[in-house]
């Protein structure tokens, strides 16, 4: 865990830009484009946020945090942070990394989903690799990062799409991409689903579309079942309205959780026996089919008993 200080704060509409640094100005742990950190807020919330700065800048981490009206408290608390406040963050983790051998990368960010794309564009530009970035927002007035996009050294590869003027035409965009294009999309579910569906309709390989969710609606309820923490030799009953994390906590077993929505992967745990009922947005279809991993914050068991490597 790192303790950093907020050295810059800027509000652009509903998006708060924070710059975090060490008190001594020393270098921070490196990160690659697409990485995020977990931000600990007010000793109550832990939320993952993408790093949107240049990965080559080791002296600060930059975040963009949307003030979400549907927030359970995390983003609202984050918006109260001020310059000089000290916060704890995790080391960077990357679950949304660029493919190193892609001849062409297509970056699509919707709303706050533009944040990882900024780091990706910087990394691709520096490496001299071909890419295009498309940013979708409701209006220019409501969009954040516009000035940064228009002044970036790669600005000629960035296109802005505003719903009150002209929406992004996904079909047209995907109709003329080079072979072996890798597509990265982050933003509202309807945008990510639309890109995935239209890419399939265009005949692009399923593995060419990569996405990262910032939030997900997940139903964690279901039939009760037993979970056995094999290493500890403890069995607990998970109620119909409980999550595995909650049931384990009642037995004194703390699990590291962050998003609590099956997005970030922080509570990923091995499965030794039983069949998981996957409710997450983190595992791939192949990983789900293997049945040897589970996200404890939201997924359940298909049978009466699940033995986990905990």
Q: Report how many domains make up the chain.
A: 3
pLDDT value at residue 7: 98
In a domain, 45, yes or no: yes
Backbone Cα Rg of the chain: 20
In a domain, 72, yes or no: yes
The number of CA neighbours under 13 Å toward the Cβ of 252 is 3
Q: What's the pTM value of the predicted model, to 2 decimals?
A: 0.81
pLDDT value at residue 72: 64
Residues paired with 236 in a beta bridge: 227
Residue 196: partners with Cβ closer than 8 Å, 6 or more residues away: 185, 209, 211
Q: What is the CATH number of the domain that holds 205?
A: 3.40.50.80
Same domain for 64 and 9, yes or no, is yes
In a domain, 217, yes or no: no
In a domain, 162, yes or no: yes
Sign of CA dihedral 42, 45, 49, 54: positive
In a domain, 218, yes or no: no
Same domain for 113 and 195, yes or no, is yes
Residues of the chain with pLDDT under 70: 69-72, 214-216
Same domain for 141 and 85, yes or no, is no
* Whole-number Å distance between alpha carbons of 202 and 194: 12
Q: What is the CATH number of the domain that holds 22?
A: 2.40.30.10
Calculate ∠ Cα 291-218-269, nearest 5°: 35
With CA atoms as reference, report the closest residue to 220 among 199, 202, 256, 244.
Answer: 244
Domain boundary among 69, 94, 119: 94
Same domain for 247 and 289, yes or no, is yes
Same domain for 35 and 129, yes or no, is no
pLDDT value at residue 282: 79
* Whole-number Å distance between alpha carbons of 310 and 296: 11
* Token code pair at residue 71: 């927030």
* Whole-number Å distance between alpha carbons of 176 and 217: 33
Range of the domain at 294: 225-308
pLDDT value at residue 70: 66
Same domain for 193 and 149, yes or no, is yes
In a domain, 136, yes or no: yes
Same domain for 110 and 37, yes or no, is no
With CA atoms as reference, report the closest residue to 33 among 129, 109, 115, 101.
Answer: 115
In a domain, 219, yes or no: no
Same domain for 34 and 56, yes or no, is yes
Domain boundary among 94, 113, 148: 94
Same domain for 199 and 109, yes or no, is yes
What's CA 213's distance to the chain center, in Å? 5
In a domain, 99, yes or no: no
pLDDT value at residue 8: 98
Same domain for 198 and 232, yes or no, is no
* Whole-number Å distance between alpha carbons of 296 and 283: 12
Same domain for 180 and 234, yes or no, is no
- The helix or strand, by DSSP H or E, that contains position 115, with its residue range, turns out to be helix 115-127
Same domain for 122 and 69, yes or no, is no
pLDDT digits (tens, 9 = 90+) for 154-199: 999 999 999 988 899 999 999 989 989 999 999 988 999 999 999 9
Which phi and psi (to 5°) does residue 298 adopt? -140, -25
Domain boundary among 94, 118, 135: 94
Residues paired with 160 in a beta bridge: 135
Q: What is the CATH number of the domain that holds 272?
A: 3.10.20.30
Residue pair 259/48 in contact by the 8 Å Cβ criterion? yes
């Amino acid at each position: 865990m790192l303790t950093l200080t907020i050295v810059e704060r800027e509000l652009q509409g509903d998006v708060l830009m924070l710059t975090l640094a060490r008190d001594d100005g020393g270098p921070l742990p490196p990160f690659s484009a697409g990485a995020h950190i977990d931000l600990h807020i007010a000793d109550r919330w832990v939320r993952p946020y993408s790093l949107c700065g240049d990965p080559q800048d080791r002296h600060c981490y930059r975040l963009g945090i949307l003030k979400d009206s549907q927030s359970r408290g995390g983003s609202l608390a984050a918006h109260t942070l001020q310059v000089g406040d000290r916060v704890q963050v995790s080391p960077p983790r990357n679950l949304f990394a660029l493919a190193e051998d892609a001849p062409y990368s297509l970056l699509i960010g919707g709303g706050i989903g533009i944040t990882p794309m900024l780091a990706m564009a910087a990394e691709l530009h520096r490496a001299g690799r071909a890419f295009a970035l498309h940013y979708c927002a409701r209006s220019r007035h409501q969009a954040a990062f516009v000035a940064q996009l228009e002044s970036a050294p790669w600005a000629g590869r960035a296109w802005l799409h505003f719903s009150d003027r002209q929406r992004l035409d996904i079909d047209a965009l995907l109709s003329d991409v080079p072979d072996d294009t890798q597509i990265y999309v982050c933003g509202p579910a309807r945008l990510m689903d639309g890109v995935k569906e239209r890419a399939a309709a265009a005949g692009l390989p399923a593995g060419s579309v990569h996405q990262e969710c910032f939030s997900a609606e997940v139903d964690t309820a279901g039939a009760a079942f037993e979970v056995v923490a094999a290493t500890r030799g403890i069995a607990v009953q998970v109620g119909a309205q409980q999550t595995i994390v909650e049931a384990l906590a009642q037995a004194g077993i703390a699990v590291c959780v962050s998003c609590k929505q099956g997005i970030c992967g922080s509570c990923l745990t091995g499965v030794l026996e039983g069949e998981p009922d996957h409710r997450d947005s983190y595992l791939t279809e192949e990983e789900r089919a293997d049945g040897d991993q589970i996200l404890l914050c939201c997924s359940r068991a298909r049978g009466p008993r699940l033995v986990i490597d905990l």
